[in-house]
Amino acid sequence: MDKYILILHIIRLILMIENRGKGSYKAINIKVEPPGPRAKEIIERDEKYLVRTTKSLPVVGYRGKGVFVEDVDGNVFLDFSSGISVTNVGHVNERIRDAVEKQLDRLWHFAGTDYYYREQVDAAQALTEITPGKFAKKVFFSNSGTEANEAAIKIAKAHAGKQQFIGFIGGFHGRSQGSLSFTASKSLYKKGFFPTMPGVEHAPFPDPYRNPFGIDGYENPDELVEAVMGYIEDYMFKMYVPPENVAAFMVEPIQGEGGYIVPPKSFHKKLMKLAADNDILVIMDEVQSGFGRTGKFFASEHFGVEPEIISLAKAIASGIPMGATVIRDRLNFAASGMHSNTFGGNLVASAACVETIRVMKEDKLVENSARVGSYFRKRLEELKEKHDAIGDVRGLGLMLAIDFVTDRRKKTPAVKLRDQIEMSLFKKGLLTLSTGVSSIRLIPPLIVTEEQIDMGIEVIDAAIGESL
């Protein structure tokens, strides 16, 4: 081996050992009030050089391990946000790191849509094996959730030969012009961007807690589902959306950005039946709810449905950018070149995806999500008993949220209080993200333990107590 390469390898090994030693955390440790001086300097430069995006908390990550993240000032945070449900296997998982490293030593990029390589095929096969439905499937790879949905839209249009679609109020599907036309969780996302893709109408989503029908969906779930189905059939289909023109519904099994809204159990089966009866496809957007988050590999499984088009991204390669559209074989594009891209199925992302699935199965992370998720929920229900400001605790597995209200009976959203609590949690060393109108989502990596949940609960309890 060349002398210089050997020296480089040794330096890399030393750095690796150094980082590994420092990356084991057991508890929250706030040394300086965040954001500290180093964080402030980076945030200032971020504002100077980066285009404005969402940015909800002034936390500047430096390194992480498992469920903890250290910021640039040496503060250690308990991470109940998982990079928006991406690092489901935990931060810096050694096995995925090794798989990526091995791939980096071999080949990085090789035009996966024009040439061939094993890694992409392995990732596609693994995805077809774990997604719901025993039927033959195919995968289109991209780099993000919005691209996975763009591909789904084109697949539906190409197969059905129709151009009309139906999305759901409260849904979030991305921000590129096609996906954006379905997104309906905040009008801000669309403000100034019309016209988006034409031909998308929206139906109400059966939100058991707050819905336009005034139905208590926890008490009367079937009545709520009937109200939504009736709205689609009696108003949309009869008055302004001819079903013969509709290519597909696009729907999340559980709404993510809309507020972690779990619809009644019968909803998705009824929707799939309505779609099948009218020769309409269903695009199931599992970008946020997929990959073990809800205590099953895919949230669709809770509802007993096997969608023919599933959009995936976020956790599928543990943070290496990757999107995937998994479709039933029969929906394949009719001709080569109808859809394609440069980076989809990139070798490094494919290697990370294959290893992520292996780790999730071998370490039983889906089972852990269900078990620790139900413990977490029980603890959150206890907090609800204690604090009147919590109006609702909802979610499945480790996809949980608490909704803050100023009046429990009227369910009036307490937006300011929610924002205050999110900031207070951060200052105390717990990372969370807001969602919906007045909720905070709680989505730790799926490796989280009950002890770590207790740690988080203690912080949430204190933050709510102090904010009232």
Residue selected from 75, 82, 144, 438 as contacting ligand PLP according to rule CB under 6 A? 144
Among 173, 210, 302, 328, contact with ligand PLP (rule: CB under 6 A): 173
Which residues, 6+ apart, have CB-to-CB distance to 410 below 8 Å?
Answer: none
Q: Shortest gap between Cβ of 230 and ligand PLP (angstroms)? A: 26
397 is a contact residue toward ligand PLP (CB under 6 A): no
Spatial CB neighbours of 201, under 8 Å, sequence gap ≥ 6: 164, 165, 166, 167, 236, 240, 241
Q: Hey, CA dihedral for 416, 207, 399, 272, is it positive or negative?
A: negative
Does residue 435 touch ligand PLP according to CB under 6 A?
no
Residue 257 engages ligand PLP in binding (rule: CB under 6 A)? yes
What is the DSSP code string of 171-193? ----SSHHHHHH--S-GGGTTT-
Residue 145 binds to ligand PLP (criterion: CB under 6 A): yes
Q: Which of 68, 165, 168, 172 binds ligand PLP (CB under 6 A)?
A: 172
Q: Are 283 and 251 in contact (CB under 8 A)?
A: yes
Taking CB under 6 A as the binding criterion, the range among 144-152, 381-389, 408-416, 420-428 that sits at the site for ligand PLP is: 144-152
Q: Select 79 or 252, whichever has its Cβ closest to ligand PLP.
A: 252
First and final C-alpha spacing in the chain: 65
Q: Of 172 and 249, which has the nearer Cβ to ligand PLP?
A: 172
Q: Which amino acid is at 174?
A: G
Distances (CA, A) of 265 to 171, 203, 299: 18, 18, 11
Q: Should residue 28 be labelled a site residue for ligand PLP when binding is judged by CB under 6 A?
A: no
Position 216: which residue type?
A: D
Position 401 contacts ligand PLP (CB under 6 A)? no
Instruction: Pick the binder of ligand PLP from 103, 146, 300, 432 (CB under 6 A).
Output: 146
List, in sequence order, every residue forming a beta bridge with 76; answer none if it has no partner: 29, 70
Dihedral sign, Cα of residue 376, residue 382, residue 386, residue 392: positive
Nearest approach in angstroms of CB 87 to ligand PLP is 14
CB of 12 to ligand PLP, least distance (A): 31
Q: Which amino acid is at 417?
A: L
User: What's the closest the beta carbon of residue 172 comes to ligand PLP, in angstroms?
Assistant: 5
Nearer to ligand PLP, 144 or 325 (CB): 144
Q: Identify which of residues 65 and 314 has a Cβ nearer to ligand PLP in the complex.
A: 314
Q: Which are the contacts of 216, defined by CB distance < 8 A and separation ≥ 6?
A: 208
Number of chain positions touching ligand PLP (CB under 6 A): 15
- Range 67-96, binding ligand PLP (CB under 6 A): 84
Binding site for ligand PLP (CB under 6 A): 84, 144-146, 149, 172-174, 252, 256-257, 285, 287-288, 313
